[in-house]
Amino acid sequence: MNQKIIIDPQQFALAVLAANTKRDKEENKVYLKQQLTLYLEALLLAQNFNSLEETQFDIAKTKQRNEILNKIIERRYI
């Protein structure tokens, strides 16, 4: 794969938020704090992914690549 994968950090973070719906009886303050935390973590994760991609993702260690992808997958199923 010779093409770089670039993730739009803001779009990614907003998609993560959209997938995290408020639970019944969950306090607004708790939910909003969780949403803010998810947004910031997703934003930073996408930025880190893009940085790694810029610095030759193809030659990055397999372990680093798998850790990033696992974090992306984990956030998807929270």
When divided into structural domains, the chain yields a total of 1
- Both tokens assigned to 59: 């030659």
Q: Is 4 part of a structural domain of the chain?
A: no
Q: Is 3 part of a structural domain of the chain?
A: no
Q: Is 60 part of a structural domain of the chain?
A: yes
Q: What is the pLDDT of residue 24?
A: 93
Other residues' Cβ atoms within 10 Å of the Cβ of residue 75: 18
pLDDT tens per residue, range 12-53: 999 999 999 999 999 999 999 999 999 999 999 999 888 887
Q: Which residues contact 34 (CB under 8 A, 6 or more apart)?
A: 20
Q: Is 1 part of a structural domain of the chain?
A: no
Q: Is 71 part of a structural domain of the chain?
A: yes
Q: How many angstroms separate the CA atoms of 48 and 27, rounded?
A: 31
Which domain does 55 fall in, by range?
9-76
